[in-house]
């Protein structure tokens, strides 16, 4: 039996109505399993393909009727990507279901979406992603490339304590310095996920470097919890959603 993904299910929301995207976000927040993580949103096909050209995700929740290219056309373009995510159509129009499945969509949901149906669709997407992941040749290496001021440097993964997304940049923190990583957290997690733990939507930490989980009252957006890591002084916020995973990594679950 194919094992579920060992990380949250990475989601892109594509709908031209902001309110519809907000409702889906809320509904996804109520999904206990598989655990979804919304990495991005787009209001049309052009914005969606621009996002997908820079980021990896496991599933696209996709509306059909949008300005410009519609969801069916976008689904065709998604299939041509080197690592295409699963597509779940989310629409108010039931009449396109046959065409959607001909495009290899994993599911077709009609609005208003029920939580139970969304969870079923996400489970199908998780299974598709697990199969795709198993078919992709191993891409992990023992270093990450850092480009800085005309210089390219190999930084060993063993030296990295954590990565944190801050505004437009991802900071790579070693024991003695901070560097700027050109890629995204999702891209890094896809390549090296087995040895890293997402503790927050904006942070990945080296599993081997976790030393303690502490109650903190001054950690921004961390619900009062933070991890201590070997080699650095600062504590990193842990989201409520990731508390169980951190405890498990510490052997406390």
The structure's pTM equals 0.56
Class of domain 9-135: alpha beta
**pLDDT value at position 222?**
43
CATH of domain 143-249: 2.40.50.1020
| Alpha-carbon gap, residue 121 to 242, rounded angstroms | 22
Q: How confident is the model at residue 1 (pLDDT cuts 50, 70, 90)?
A: very low
For 165-172, what is the mean pLDDT?
87
**From residue 91, how far is each of 16, 50, 66, 86 by CA, in Å?**
11, 22, 10, 16
Locus of tokens 């299974």? 127
Q: How confident is the model at residue 121 (pLDDT cuts 50, 70, 90)?
A: very high
State the number of CA atoms in the 13 A half-sphere of 158 facing the CB.
1
Answer yes or no: is pLDDT of 250 > 50: yes
At 124-161, the pLDDT tens digits run 999 888 776 665 544 446 788 887 777 778 888 889 99
For 12-37, what is the mean pLDDT?
93
Domain boundaries, the chain: 9-135, 143-249
Decide if 9-135 and 143-249 have a common fold.
Answer: no
């Amino acid at each position: 039996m194919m094992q579920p993904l060992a990380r949250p299910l990475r989601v892109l929301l594509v709908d031209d109505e902001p309110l519809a995207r907000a409702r889906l976000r809320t509904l996804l927040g109520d999904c206990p399993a598989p655990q979804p993580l919304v990495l991005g949103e787009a209001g049309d096909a052009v914005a969606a393909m621009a996002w997908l050209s820079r980021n990896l995700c496991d599933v696209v929740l996709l509306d059909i009727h949008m300005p410009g290219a519609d969801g069916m056309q976008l689904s065709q373009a998604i299939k041509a990507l080197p690592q295409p995510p699963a597509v779940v159509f989310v629409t108010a129009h039931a009449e396109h279901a046959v065409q959607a499945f001909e495009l290899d969509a994993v599911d077709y949901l009609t609005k208003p979406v029920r939580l139970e149906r969304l969870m079923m669709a996400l489970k199908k997407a998780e299974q598709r992603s697990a199969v795709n992941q198993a078919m992709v040749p191993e891409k992990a290496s023992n270093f990450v490339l850092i480009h800085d001021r005309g210089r390219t440097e190999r930084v060993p993964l063993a030296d990295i304590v954590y990565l944190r997304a801050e505004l437009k940049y991802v900071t790579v923190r070693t024991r003695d310095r901070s560097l700027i990583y050109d890629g995204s957290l999702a891209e890094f997690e896809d390549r090296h996920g087995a040895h890293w733990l997402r503790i927050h939507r904006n942070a990945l930490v080296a599993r081997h470097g976790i030393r303690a989980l502490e109650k903190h009252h001054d950690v921004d957006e961390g619900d009062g919890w933070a991890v201590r890591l070997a080699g650095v002084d600062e504590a990193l916020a842990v989201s409520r959603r990731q508390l169980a995973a951190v405890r498990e990594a510490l052997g406390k679950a």
